[in-house]
Chain A
Amino acid sequence: MDNVISETATAKRTRTREKEKLSRTWPLHIMLLPAAIVTFIFAYMPMGGLVMAFQDFKPYDGLFGSKFVGWKHFEFMFQYPDSKEVIWNTLVISSFKIVFGLIVPFVFAILLNEVRKTAFKRTVQTLVYLPHFISWVILGAILTDMLSSKGIINSTLISLGFEAVPWLANGNWFRFTVIVSDIWQNFGFNTIVFLASLAGVNPSLYEAAEVDGANRWKQTVHITVPAMIPIAVVVGTLSLGNILNGGFDQIFNLYNTLVYDKGDIIDTFVYRTAILNGQYSFGTAVGLFKSVIGLILIVISYRMAYKYAGYRIF
């Protein structure tokens, strides 16, 4: 009898130990430790470094020895004509990129949806996604070569009887080139989400429309386009968070002193003033201004995406 009782007790104990083992979560914390440490050092510590924006930071004195100057750099930023120009350039370039970066993939998805030869469709998709994966160092080198005054584009234009275009040497043309080449790099990749939303359309909708005598144009307007509107709203609102990102990688690899007045954006300006000229605090202040506006816009646009399209990212 005693024996039986002790046996069941041992079994119970083993079972509880097994249960404990199942419910313990400390290994998960250990798994997260490396990621948490890396994030703390390389993402959160620089945030602490933002106090530089309120100091006259000298690398020799360090973060704790430098003198605090309050809002001086921010006031300077709003008085300095260069920084106003740079903010304006960023807004212009990124608004065009956002608007056309939405329209072009939208239309492209519709056109691609009308292709019924699968092999052709696949080939098109494979080729148009490619530029997205090539860095702006490479693309910048290729474009500066092709768009130079004697490059292949201009020599073709001249042989056709047109005048050469200063693609990268005139401010307005530079903006045009930057916007078009950005759309060119990313439209294919951005089409993916639209194609995904089209894949979810019930084919019987088209059949019913067909029976009702709607032609393909009407089917497109009343079935295909509405199917993509929700995701377009999401993509559009979310890209608002990028309005102060003009695309550093791209501009830095394409611009030159000739087009600073129309093509210089916040990030390139910060790099030059802070890292190259050593005005660390001023550069940090401009960067902080940009990050704060970016954060506010992201929060607002996520709220809007949730409200109007029921879309939740987090």
Chain B
Amino acid sequence: MYYKTSSYRAFTAFNYVLLTIICLSCVLPLIHILAVSFSASAPANSNLVGLWPIGFNFEAYEKTLNNPNFHNALLVGLQRTVLGTVIGMSVMTLAGYALSKDTGYFKSRSIYMWYFLFTMLFSGGIVPSYMLIRELNLMNTMWALVLPLAINVFNMVLLMNFFRAVPRELEEASLIDGAGHFRTLISVYLPVSMPAIATISLFTMVMHWNSWFDGLLYISDYRKYPLSTFLQTVIVQQDFNKISPDVNELKNISQRTVKSAQIFIGTLPILLVYPFLQRYFVKGIILGAVKE
């Protein structure tokens, strides 16, 4: 067999080493940030911390969590994620169910499909969208963050493909027993496609949690910033004009340990849902891509 030859053995050894290095490159940056966040501020500021904290303490996290602005942003970020996921999933599930019907049965299906798909191909761009939110008086509201993202066509098509995989007999039986489409969706389709719903919900949650640009664009009052936008302003742009912190807070924010703690708290929700997400998305993507 080929894998018993010495040249293939040499390749295997090389391959394992290379793959290990690649994997490390994907996690070491996060570990470095984590190590800095738990370190004492002096070694952190003079760049002595590598992958293990020096002078282990929780001070940075205490300072971060005691910062009312951070607190606020964290809350808005969570609110936005929950509200956005609930609204988005309701809208997309309803639409995905309707679009999962055959064109023979539901004649307008292809019109709706193109109506949605076209928005993936062409868009108005940021300036008209910004003007629209202004005209609709949605500036500085949660709705400006939640409603434009309620439909993600890609996720909707994934849901549609999952629904198409539900055996036709189930639907027929339910319709013949006198259930309408709404009843069929709730009592038949939803229970059997829970894994799909869970996957797309996680996708939507991650998307909302990570969105930062809409906050920057549509929200001018920093107290209404979601966490991603807050971190973008304070850590990446280091723009303190908008946030107007007091002197004490300013001193804390500029500390490397506090910055790292904020970054890590911002990543934590993703790390928490990632194991669940990872279990499904491979299957989901392949299923969604192959079926139509």
Residue numbers of A with Cβ under 8 A of B are 18, 21-23, 25, 27-29, 31-32, 34-36, 38-39, 41-50, 52, 59, 62-63, 108, 111-112, 114-116, 120, 123-131, 133-135, 137-138, 140-146, 150-152, 155, 184, 188, 192-193, 196, 210, 215-216, 219, 248-249, 252-253, 267, 270-271, 274-275, 280, 283-284, 287-288, 290-291, 294-295, 298-299, 312-314
* In the assembled complex, B91 has its CB within 8 A of some CB on chain A: yes
The 3 tightest CB contacts between A and B, nearest first, are A46-B124, A49-B128, A287-B125
Given contacts A27-B182, A192-B285, 18 further A-B contacts (CB under 8 A): A28-B101, A39-B151, A43-B124, A43-B151, A46-B128, A47-B124, A50-B128, A111-B19, A115-B19, A133-B270, A137-B235, A146-B29, A192-B286, A193-B286, A216-B5, A216-B8, A270-B125, A274-B130
What are 12 A-B interface contacts by the 8 Å CB criterion?
A25-B105, A25-B106, A35-B91, A35-B94, A35-B156, A43-B119, A49-B129, A130-B274, A146-B32, A270-B125, A274-B130, A291-B123
* In the assembled complex, B240 has its CB within 8 A of some CB on chain A: no
Alpha-carbon distance between A210 and B4 when the two chains are bound, in angstroms: 13
Query: Residues of A contacting B91 with CB < 8 Å?
Result: 34-35, 38
Query: Residues of A contacting B47 with CB < 8 Å?
Result: 150-152, 155
Residue in chain B with minimal CB distance to A129: B278
Query: Residues of B contacting A267 with CB < 8 Å?
Result: 126
Asked if A31 contacts B127 (CB within 8 A), the reply is no
Partner of B23, one of A128, A275, A299: A128
Query: Residues of B contacting A299 with CB < 8 Å?
Result: 121
Partner of A196, one of B90, B211, B286: B286
* In the assembled complex, B26 has its CB within 8 A of some CB on chain A: yes
- A46 in contact with B26 given A25-B105, A34-B91, A35-B116 (CB within 8 Å): no
Alpha-carbon distance between A126 and B27 when the two chains are bound, in angstroms: 11
Asked if B126 contacts A274 (CB within 8 A), the reply is yes
Residue in chain A with minimal CB distance to B130: A275
CB distance from B201 to the nearest CB of A (A): 14
State which of B9-17, B54-62, B64-72, B243-251 sits at the interface with chain A. B9-17
Alpha-carbon distance between A244 and B3 when the two chains are bound, in angstroms: 45
Classify chain B: how many residues form its interface, as a range.
Answer: 35 or more
* In the assembled complex, B141 has its CB within 8 A of some CB on chain A: no
Query: Residues of B contacting A196 with CB < 8 Å?
Result: 286
Query: Residues of A contacting B121 with CB < 8 Å?
Result: 294-295, 298-299
* In the assembled complex, B259 has its CB within 8 A of some CB on chain A: yes
Query: Residues of B contacting A283 with CB < 8 Å?
Result: 126-127
Query: Residues of A contacting B5 with CB < 8 Å?
Result: 215-216
* In the assembled complex, B194 has its CB within 8 A of some CB on chain A: no
Query: Residues of B contacting A39 with CB < 8 Å?
Result: 115-116, 119, 151
Query: Residues of A contacting B236 with CB < 8 Å?
Result: 137, 140-141, 144, 253
CB distance from A200 to the nearest CB of B (A): 10
Query: Residues of A contacting B274 with CB < 8 Å?
Result: 130, 133
